Amino acid sequence: MNALAAVTITNAKDFGRVGLLVGGESAERAVSLDGGADVARSFERSGISHQVFDGAAGLFKAIDGGQISRVFNLMHGPGGEDGAIQGALQLLKIPVTGTGLLGSALTMDKISSKNMLMQHGIPTTEFETVEPGSRQFEHAADRFGYPVFVKPSALGSSIGVSRAENADELAAAIELARRYGEQVLVEPLIAGSEYFAGVLGDKVLPLIRIETPRKFYDYEAKYQSDQTRYFCPCGLDSDLERQLQQQSLTAFNVLQASGWGRVDFILDENNQPWFLEVNTIPGMTDHSLVPQAAEAMGIGFDELVWRILETSL
């Protein structure tokens, strides 16, 4: 079960020297660097002693030299969000923000996380997997019909995700997804609006609803477009929003996530949520959703960064 930090820090010196881990080699590198720059500036404003590391090699060298007390992990994707860095830091007895090894591994693998949600009765879309190297993927379209969504299993930020309207687009979408990993999944379209539930400690932030003129909330809509619209308050009845917040927290807990994160779901025309994924290291750029939701309940960016850092305690 999630919990707020057992100890609340009031003096920045009590954090010690923080290693801010960003970048790395995944396809989400640019997003991580952008968010890391904003977090570093927040550290400076709050007087938090820190050093920025692009990738884990320099971080481990500094830890070996006794220079780092704890880690603020903002390295997205494989290597940073999949349990690898969490396990290594656990062995080194260095505290790190957010979700631990098991939850990181579960949430990073969309196939494993969707299977886990299904086992706990949490609504998520059906899916078909396309085996590495296989050209036999037409059965997914036969089962679901078009359009379908094609995703790499172990990547975020909508990188490698496509919407396919026909067989030719499906083949191209699978080829694109395979650039980011051999495990690919195909899901049916769920008609509805996309919502996002930020989690901080054991609290769910106000829901955000998005609208985009693009076919779906893809990488460009998330990080480059000025036409994406964010609604917070999201416009739902307050009782329904509370119910969806609780369901989001349940999904977060089922996947062993902790500290902070974001739960994404689609709400269909019958107000039925369909949970897409849990992100254990959401973006922290100026377009990012968790900072927007936190701001809506009076938590400014610097306070949010501070409270995320407290999750390492």
Q: How many CB atoms are closer than 10 A to CB 164?
A: 22
Establish whether 38 is a catalytic residue: no
262 is catalytic: yes
The HSE-up count of residue 289 (CA atoms within 13 Å, CB side) is 32
19 is catalytic: no
Of 38, 70, 223, 259, catalytic: 223
Out of 262, 288, 307, 312, pick the active-site residue.
262
Cα 21 → chain centroid: 16
303 belongs to the catalytic site: no
Two structure tokens written together for 238: 């307050």
Q: Which of 54, 109, 194, 277 is catalytic?
A: 277
Residue 87 and residue 60 in contact, taking contact as beta carbons nearer than 8 Å: no
* Strands 148-152 vs 162-164: parallel, antiparallel or unpaired: antiparallel
Q: Assess contact for 298 and 246: CB atoms under 8 A.
A: no
- Measured CA to CA in angstroms, residue 262 lies from 21, 208, 290 at distances of 19, 11, 7
Q: Given the residues 264, 288, 310, 312, select the one marked as catalytic.
A: 264
Could you confirm whether 165 is annotated as catalytic? no
* 19, 24, 28, 109: the active-site residue: 28
Catalytic residue (choose from 157, 162, 248, 312): 157
Catalytic residue among 73, 104, 113, 279: 279
Active site residue 28: yes
Enter the DSSP assignment of 13: G
Of 38, 198, 283, 307, the active-site residue reads: 283
Catalytic residues: 28, 157, 223, 262, 264, 277, 279, 283
